A = this chain, B = another copy of it.
Amino acid sequence: MSAPPSERARVKRYNQIADYDPQTIHAILDAMPLCHVGYVFNGSPFVTPTLQWRDGDMIFWHGSAASRMLESAECQEVCVTVSLYDGLVMARSAYNYNINHRSVMIFGKPAKLSDEEKLVQLRNMVNKTIPGQWERLRPVKPQELKATTVLGMKITEASAKVRFGQPDDDDDADFPVWAGIIPVRYEIGRPEANPKNPLGVELPADTALFKIG
């Protein structure tokens, strides 16, 4: 990540302010587990939404071993994009209308994980949402591990884009229209227990640490 951004990572950010700082990139990945994996299948582009998580400078995503997306993506070029909608930017003109947002694009060729690596990373996937939750779960069965594919990729070619704050249209500030921003946040609702939970089973206190955004 300390190397200069590659041509491919730069192509994307043609005329926008890009950020190649690993801290910025990692913070965005950690804020939004939903990612969009772009790959080419039979010459056509596909963008599949799936769960991603990060471990150090690696990004991982998973799915059924029967997934054509995962089979197509292995050892092929992919572009993984994660984005958050942070608010509406109400400018004085349609030209400056915008949204506040954070996004990351990562380019690379992912590899499939071994069963041993899968166990480590599935634990990370669970415990990054709620600390200690993996240890509370019913243990993974060998056939479940077989049926799960996890792809991993080093975060080497990546760029972030962050837009925040007020509209950039001071030239129009005299125009008599309200300008400003309307923030949007991810609100965590009250947990809804499964009606079949055994008596006496309680919501883990760590659940309060679950957070999006």
Interface residues in chain A, defined as those with a beta carbon under 8 Å from any beta carbon in chain B? 8, 11-12, 14-15, 32-34, 36-41, 43-49, 51, 64, 66-69, 77-81, 83, 85, 87-88, 90-95, 97, 99, 101, 103, 105, 107, 122-123, 125-126, 129-130, 133-134, 136-141, 144, 147-148, 166-167, 170, 172-198, 200-204, 207, 210, 212
Task: Evaluate contact between B92 and A46: CB separation under 8 angstroms.
Answer: no
Inside 8 A of A47's CB, which chain B residues have their CB?
Answer: 36-38, 47, 79-81, 105
Name the one of B144, B188, B201 contacting A178, with C-beta atoms under 8 angstroms.
Answer: B201
Task: Pick the residue among B37, B77, B178, B207 that contacts A182 (CB under 8 A).
Answer: B207
* Integer count of this chain's copies in the complex: 2
Q: How far is the CB of A80 from chain B (nearest CB, A)?
A: 7
In angstroms, Cα B66 to Cα A185, docked, is 31
Quick check: A182 and B189 within 8 Å, CB to CB?
Answer: yes
CA distance A198 to B170 in the complex (A): 12
Can you list 26 A-B contacts (CB < 8 A)? A11-B46, A12-B48, A15-B64, A33-B85, A34-B101, A36-B81, A36-B83, A43-B77, A45-B77, A46-B105, A47-B47, A47-B81, A88-B210, A90-B130, A94-B126, A97-B125, A136-B177, A137-B177, A170-B196, A178-B193, A178-B202, A178-B203, A181-B192, A182-B191, A182-B192, A184-B189
Q: How far is the CB of A117 from chain B (nearest CB, A)?
A: 14
Contact B197 A192 (CB under 8 A): no
